[in-house]
Amino acid sequence: MTPPFSPPAPPRIALLGWARGIVRAQRCLWSECLAVWLRRPRPSVAYARRLGEGRRFALHGGSWMSVLVPMVVFSQFVDVLIAQGVIHVAAAAHAHRALLHGLLLFASVWMVAWAVALRSATRHIEHVLDAQALTLAIGFKQLCRLPVAAIADVRRIDHRGSVSGKDWFDRHGVRAKDVTVLSPLDPPTLLIALKDDAAGAWWTRNGAPRRLGRWVAVYVDKADAMASAVAAALPPPSPLADSTPQGLM
């Protein structure tokens, strides 16, 4: 089995890579959800073990993630009853009503399964910092590996007083298109700047390699603790050059 910290080769056909990513995402979603419901060993536990040893930082304590499952289940219960009633009245043909009822039921079950799987995965899969690299994992969906030598700076994102969830871009002097955001639902709490070369740094989404931005914004429960740990692991700055991106100065 290939370890998750080995970047996959780019697919020859982009559409094929996208399709494989969708299939992989659905397989992970349903296997994790069924393991929760059937009380079997969860795939997320084995996946987290494959990320290696090191200091771990949790990401399941955010405000959105804390209420994800009850919120989705409650909303689906209410919305499905209303929508099913509307379909029964509005759809004239019986065959059309049956098809719409089935599609709506499947969509509702999928939403609940997605919420259960995401909540379970983020409770077990955490960010890992070892002597060589910082591995950022958002459930099964996103995986990013940043060698310690490729990190230029790290700092906390303060959202206090924000009018919208995008205020921090201007506050830190960065452009949204230059930032790779790794967060399940909650806004990111840590901003990591990469060096110019960033050798060995990569990011995958649904198993497919993606372009990694100059900055990486990630959600973590204890941002100050992770920022301090990463800063302590960084090599001493070179006196000959400073490769810290200007947006963080």
Is residue 226 assigned to a domain? yes
pTM of the shown model: 0.82
Question: Which structural domain, as residue segments, surrounds residue 230?
Answer: 127-248
Supply 121's token pair. Answer: 């995965």
Is residue 217 assigned to a domain? yes
Name the most confidently modeled range: 1-10, 85-94, 126-135, 197-206: 126-135
Is residue 99 assigned to a domain? no
Give residue-wise pLDDT tens across range 179-193. Answer: 999 987 888 999 999
- Between helix 94-124 and helix 68-90 the angle, nearest 10°, is 170
| C-alpha torsion angle, residues 53, 55, 59, 60 (rounded to 10) | 80
- In total, the chain counts a number of residues equal to 249
pLDDT computed for residue 1 by the predictor? 40
Is residue 9 assigned to a domain? no
Q: What is the mean pLDDT of residues 45-71?
A: 86
Is residue 74 assigned to a domain? no
Say how many domains are in the chain: 1
Cα 95 to Cα 87, 88, 99, 100, 104: the distances in Å are: 12, 11, 6, 9, 14
